[in-house]
């Protein structure tokens, strides 16, 4: 029986879509059958992040309305076997779907897929409730900024009220150097304020944009810091006990010396 | 400058610390769904209710919200005016 994981944040632009695509890739590369579902009807973007925008024929709304079958709506990823996209409709609105539709769609895929990753739209309106309805687990993503953490807190409250969970947190775009310098909220600060469990810390990484430009997931490259972080989150989702990357400790003398000699990165 | 500040023990809080403080305050209000003006109303009504029974230092009353875990807590700090020591330096914390 597959598991439905909804990725949401409240605030826009904090990395929901990138996280959904990256976790999809990392889970599929570990042998799981995964479908990434874009529920941002009218503002779809998961297709371009996954590099599948030219292969869409039907979409989620078509499927719900019975204009196509599930198999017709799914787009298979050519690079990663076992990974599929269920795209959003671009010319429709969130009102064209109901939470019950999403529950029905996901229940229809549980036999075939190990993971159904739902990319939620920003906000806390209809689209968010559609994305939340079928969730077995919820991943909240936030950046270490006041506005983003505040919105994450609001969303956590709404998820709790809806009786959904477990809820776990991804902290995205953490810059350990700035945290040490006192210019950025750190992991501990965010966890103390939000008081929920942590599933991963994704360091700020210039490569994320480079990969997004090309329509390739950063998780395809486990050597990039962000790619590695998503791999670790995927392994934790699979039940492995993976220690968190040590990012925020004070730099050792050796680290400081090597940084001095090699000032790149 | 920074070193001098540190030597004299007047360290300016980092933007990280300020961010955390502001976040905790804004979340206290968000979570409790209490606006700062409601807090003022509560304070006024607390003062009038309590001062009907005991003498309090009305100017020193502080009503605020804090966090423990994901819960908000309403803290009222109401200094009492005792008849013996009317200098008003003793504070009763509920």
Contact list in A for residue B67 (CB cut-off 8 A) is 193
Q: How far apart are CA A142 and CA A22, in angstroms?
A: 16
pLDDT of res. B20: 96
pLDDT(B30) > 50: yes
Nearest CA in chain A to B28: A193
Cβ-in-10-Å burial (0-12, 13-18, 19+) of B80 comes to middle
Interchain CB distance below 8 Å, A195 and B14: no
Interchain CB distance below 8 Å, B23 and A154: no
Interchain CB distance below 8 Å, A193 and B70: no
Q: Are strands A83-86 and A115-119 parallel, antiparallel or unpaired?
A: unpaired
pLDDT tens for chain A, 265 residues long, are 899 999 999 999 999 999 999 999 999 999 999 999 999 999 999 999 999 999 999 999 999 999 999 999 999 999 999 999 999 999 999 999 999 999 999 999 999 999 999 999 999 999 999 999 999 999 999 999 999 999 999 999 999 999 998 999 999 999 999 999 999 999 999 999 999 999 999 999 999 999 999 999 999 988 899 999 999 999 999 999 999 987 766 665 555 555 555 444 4
Q: Which of A152, A189, A190, A194 to mutate to test the interface with B (most CBs of B within 10 A)?
A: A189
Residue A96 carries which DSSP code?
G
Q: What are phi and psi of A115, to 5 degrees?
A: -135, 135
pLDDT of res. B8: 66
pLDDT(B57) > 80: yes
Nearest CA in chain B to A148: B23
Closest by alpha carbon to A230, among A240, A220, A241, A215? A220
Residue A86 near residue A125, CB atoms below 8 Å: no
pLDDT of res. A226: 96
Q: How far apart are CA B65 and CA B75, in angstroms?
A: 6
pLDDT of res. A169: 98
pLDDT of res. A194: 95
To the nearest 10°, the Cα dihedral for A47, A53, A58, A61? 40
pLDDT(B5) > 70: no
pLDDT(B90) > 50: no
**Hey, is the C-beta of A180 within 8 angstroms of any chain B C-beta?**
no
Nearest CA distance, A207 vs chain B (angstrom): 25
Q: How far apart are CA A180 and CA A187, in angstroms?
A: 11
Tokens of residue A160, six digits: 């709790």
The mean-pLDDT minimum among A78-87, A243-252, B32-41, B65-74 falls in A243-252
Region for residue A176 given its phi and psi (left: phi exceeds 0; alpha: psi -120 to 50; beta: otherwise): alpha
Q: How far apart are CA A78 and CA A185, in angstroms?
A: 39
Please name the residues in contact with A74: beta carbons below 8 A apart, sequence gap of 6 or more: A35, A84, A85, A86
User: What does the longest C-alpha to C-alpha distance in chain B come to?
Assistant: 53
pLDDT of res. B88: 45
User: Which runs of consecutive H residues, i.e. helices, occur in A8-91?
Assistant: 16-29, 46-49, 60-64, 70-73
Q: pTM, whole model, 2 decimals? A: 0.85
**Structure-model confidence comparison of residues B66 and B49, the more confident one:** B49
Q: How far apart are CA A64 and CA A96, in angstroms?
A: 9
pLDDT of res. B12: 87
pLDDT of res. A78: 92
Q: How far apart are CA A14 and CA A142, in angstroms?
A: 6
Question: Which of B20, B31, B67 has its CB closest to that of A185?
Answer: B20
Residue A138 near residue A167, CB atoms below 8 Å: yes
């Amino acid at each position: 029986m597959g598991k439905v994981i909804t990725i949401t944040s409240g605030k826009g632009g904090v990395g929901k879509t990138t996280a959904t695509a990256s976790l999809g890739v990392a889970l599929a590369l570990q042998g799981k059958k995964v479908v990434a579902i874009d529920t941002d009807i009218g503002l779809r973007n998961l297709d371009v992040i996954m590099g599948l925008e030219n292969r869409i024929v039907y979409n989620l709304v078509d499927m719900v309305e019975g204009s196509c079958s599930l198999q017709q709506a799914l787009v298979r990823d050519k690079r990663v076997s076992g990974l599929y996209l269920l795209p959003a409709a671009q010319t429709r609105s969130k009102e064209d779907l109901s939470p019950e539709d999403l529950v029905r769609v996901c229940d229809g895929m549980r036999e075939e897929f190990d993971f159904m990753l739902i990319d939620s739209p920003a906000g806390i309106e209809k689209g968010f409730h559609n994305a939340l309805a079928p969730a077995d687990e919820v991943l909240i993503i936030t950046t270490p900024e006041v506005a983003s953490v505040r919105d994450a807190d609001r969303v956590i409250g709404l998820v709790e009220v809806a009786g959904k969970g477990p809820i776990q947190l991804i902290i995205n775009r953490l810059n350990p150097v700035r945290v040490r310098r006192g210019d950025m909220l750190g992991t501990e600060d965010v966890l103390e304020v939000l008081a929920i469990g942590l599933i991963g810390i994704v360091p700020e990484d210039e490569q994320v944009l480079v990969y997004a430009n090309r329509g390739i997931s950063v998780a395809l490259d486990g050597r990039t810091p962000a790619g590695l972080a998503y791999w670790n989150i995927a392994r934790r989702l699979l039940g492995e006990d993976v220690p968190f990357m040590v990012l925020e400790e004070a730099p050792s003398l050796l680290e400081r010396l090597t940084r001095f000699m090699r000032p790149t990165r | 400058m920074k070193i001098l500040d540190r030597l004299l023990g007047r360290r300016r809080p980092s933007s990280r610390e300020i961010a955390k403080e502001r976040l905790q305050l804004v979340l206290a209000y968000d979570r409790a769904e209490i606006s700062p003006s409601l807090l003022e109303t509560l304070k006024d009504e607390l003062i009038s209710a309590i001062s009907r029974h005991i003498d309090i230092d009305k100017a020193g009353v502080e009503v605020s919200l804090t966090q423990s875990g994901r819960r908000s807590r309403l803290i009222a700090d109401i200094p009492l005016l005792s008849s013996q020591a009317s200098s008003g330096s003793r504070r009763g914390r509920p």
